[in-house]
Structure 1
């Protein structure tokens, strides 16, 4: 009998999106055999207190899972600390986990895909995660590939699964090491293969002297160590948080126009052993090579990128004073 991986959901103040996330998980057959951990961080500003109280009251009513374990710190931890606090708790009891933020909805076979993927690739040193989301949703995919998977070097946080032993191998990256990597042509070339936005995003971290956390740390680790995530050609998740109401995202028309009912159409899937001919970074590359990304690379090429970041920070401070 398969041992189902625990599900770990993070939420801040968005009750409506959390409800949609949980309802979609409840539609998975495996939910009744899965433990659900929900991390609800405390408010970092007074106007969020009431919303977070509503979120936590809702968490107490959730059913349909083997067990529901709320993680509700009294003080605000912030995204990075809240994630690691919960992960430390989960890894005391489990060797695998499935991660979702509150704005992710899933297909009815999402948990099946994740759990079978964890079992299939557990001994494959090249695979670091199983991704539920695929940027292929924005492109026409050959019908012969609909049930297949591909491999990409780009981390995707929109519903993924991984293993304790593989995740704990990642160490904190120093800014000095990051600077060295960004001055290494081979590393930058590999970054550019999965989207030209990453190079300037890392440069911004250097400018602000911010350590790499979560998604940034994951993708750096993958590119640096030639690791991959398993991705379905037919997506098993979708992000409904690009509506402008999230704490970290702006409204994105490409996502708000997507027909989420397409997730209800269960599509068979088949895993296969890792092979280089199935590496496909095309979808990530095309989706992330935006006009903004190209402008930033242009500014970098003429030595004005850091000045652009300086102006951006001044603009943010000016807006806060208004």
Structure 2
């Protein structure tokens, strides 16, 4: 029982005790008043009369304290029930957010998409178009598409890593700020939302990334994977060894079409994110990245999908 519930229960029990004492005193006062005011009977009372007098005095007292005891027990049960409801609520909240951020922590999709900058009013649209055309013609390289991962995201490695781990709760202000900053870029928004989807689906099966610490893989293996190597050369990335987690995730991948599509979507975007950002990270940052919740989901799902050999 929590401290607050215990204090509440003790306060209620003390109030009931005071009530019982007051009722007892009132009853004894009435008995004494009756004893003093009743006229004396001629002759000595018989045994039945004496027994009735004793029982009439004691039984109400017994009933009073029986009621007090039952009320105190009921107060304890109510306090324990309230404490249990509070604990269950906390457990539900923890299960809902553990390893996966609540939707309230993520901005809406409209906030994640950067708004196009308007052309200043002093520059006519035709002039802006005429200046843009020579630049496009002078650059023979193909322009990156929206989903190609270019241009590179302006956020630094520390912010990205913090965002990929998701906030621990509504009070984790640094992680929430990092997440919002990362979501300002469409490429990062895609990988973060894909990671959130798979982590949330796994949490729905009681698979929490916090409970699945991976065997650490060398930073060189991560770099080889980001460079495009596959198979046994990067097998160390499948560092999630928990057999129950592997069985549950593999079963979901086989039987649940939504989970399968979400997994492939996440693996594709996380792979592209590694190719973009891993070359700019040092080995210490790669090691921290590998411990994030998103990376743990990637290692688990990548292993059962066979991309690590």
- Structures share fold, TM-score greater than 0.5: no
Structure with the bigger percentage of helix: 2
Structure with the bigger percentage of strand: 1
